[in-house]
Chains A and B, each alone.
Chain A
């Protein structure tokens, strides 16, 4: 449990442009959309057809609820996947950018050479 909270804290405090930060944003949007669906706000999207969603509620209130669900829906189907892909791309970039991912000892002592079919060998 502690480790889960630790992971969540790490994600929450992630640097603004880091892959984790994009993951957190996607997760927040997905969670908000799930809450909206569970609350049945999709019923209020009937305002799009010009119909009163609920005759016992003011048109403005009902339309606002419908609009909230509409925005969350589009955030879920458009933004969430884009944020996830962004996160993946950034993570890949961070892994494969020059000088990253190599053991510190190897990068200091044995500079990487172009691989022409020969495996890298330490200098004699």
Chain B
């Protein structure tokens, strides 16, 4: 009996040593099976194969209404915002693709127009709440009439981006009206705070609105340069978290912080600020990369909150892996920022993670990530084609 036990322990310890050794051999090799050349995902010129496949899937959704209805139903059951953001990311992506491949413009423009017109129609018919989460109705907006910067900024940028691809006079007036409304509100209080939700101001939406101003300046000869710089100066003074130097995600109209530096917000803010104030944008990106970006065993990911800030897992962060703090939302948005700031190593590692953990599914040349959703895939598409639109805004 004693000999049996001794023999068993001996075999178990051999197995344990072999298992440990096998783990040490395999884990560092795993990323090699998922790390494809970066050109598969992002190319400085032209359109990458993955971008083309992602776009094909989205174009199919917009040409087959029944299919789109199913996708939208799934997303709206969780969050009506995603329906809206799925549209905006897709429009910005198609504009970038059109600028990359002018020959494809004719294919993209009808889809872009369909998205913009349908979105505006829904907003006109059902009001701003059609694209907001239900809690928006819980209390009134501080500034009346109720307007959401989330909608105004992104719709203005959709229209502006479309006009950057090819001028369409029909969009000029509605775009100008929205931007005038935003400017009026910005100038109406010292913090230039604009509500997206009642008494909630989001730096994400403010950064998008600033880009829309820049697009208008380029297209219509207006000059919002001073206004944008005023916002940047105000943000540096009032909206920066002292511990990390990162911009807060949201605050009340009186400047009281609501959410601290959140991964799902700051990556996009840094990307948008790149078109407004490049040095400040790069500073924000580098801080976010240090506080939130990680590469482990060749796989890149991003945290939702820096170590110095305790925040919840919510609809923006998506699923957060317990222990590691990996956030699906933040990691997805990190792809946009890494691509924007040409952080190739981080981008390649993030794409490796995407291919390892997001369940890519290809069918007839169309790609979707099963773990994602329509808005997630549209944001990934945007990360894989962004560049030309910002370049044309910044061109002297």
20 contacting pairs across A/B (C-beta < 8 A): A15-B11, A16-B11, A17-B11, A46-B370, A47-B319, A48-B319, A49-B372, A50-B78, A50-B318, A51-B74, A51-B373, A77-B33, A78-B26, A82-B19, A82-B23, A82-B26, A85-B25, A86-B21, A90-B14, A90-B18
From known contacts A49-B318, A50-B78, infer whether A93 and B373 are also in contact, taking CB-CB under 8 Å.
no
B359 to chain A, nearest CB (A): 5
Q: How many residues of B contact A (CB 8 A)?
A: 35
Is the C-beta of A64 less than 8 angstroms from some C-beta in chain B?
no
Is the C-beta of B315 less than 8 angstroms from some C-beta in chain A?
yes
* Cα–Cα, bound, A33→B74 (Å): 26
Counting chain B CB atoms within 10 Å of each CB, the highest count among A17, A51, A82, A86 belongs to A51
Partner of B77 from the list A15, A16, A52 (CB cut-off 8 Å) is A52
Counting chain A CB atoms within 10 Å of each CB, the highest count among B22, B70, B82, B373 belongs to B22
Point out residues on A near B: beta carbons under 8 Å.
15-18, 22, 42-43, 45-55, 73, 77-78, 81-86, 89-90, 93
What residues of chain B lie closer than 8 Å to A55, measured between beta carbons? 70, 73-74, 77
A69 to chain B, nearest CB (A): 8
Q: What does DSSP make chain A's interface, helix, strand, loop or mixed?
A: helix
Counting chain B CB atoms within 10 Å of each CB, the highest count among A43, A50, A54 belongs to A50
What residues of chain A lie closer than 8 Å to B73, measured between beta carbons? 55
Q: What does DSSP make chain B's interface, helix, strand, loop or mixed?
A: helix
Residues 4-40 (chain B) with a chain A CB within 8 angstroms = 11-12, 14-15, 18-19, 21-23, 25-27, 30, 33
Residues 273-325 (chain B) with a chain A CB within 8 angstroms = 315, 318-319
From known contacts A17-B14, A42-B370, A81-B26, infer whether A51 and B19 are also in contact, taking CB-CB under 8 Å.
no
Residue of A at shortest CB range from B315? A50
What residues of chain A lie closer than 8 Å to B19, measured between beta carbons? 82, 86
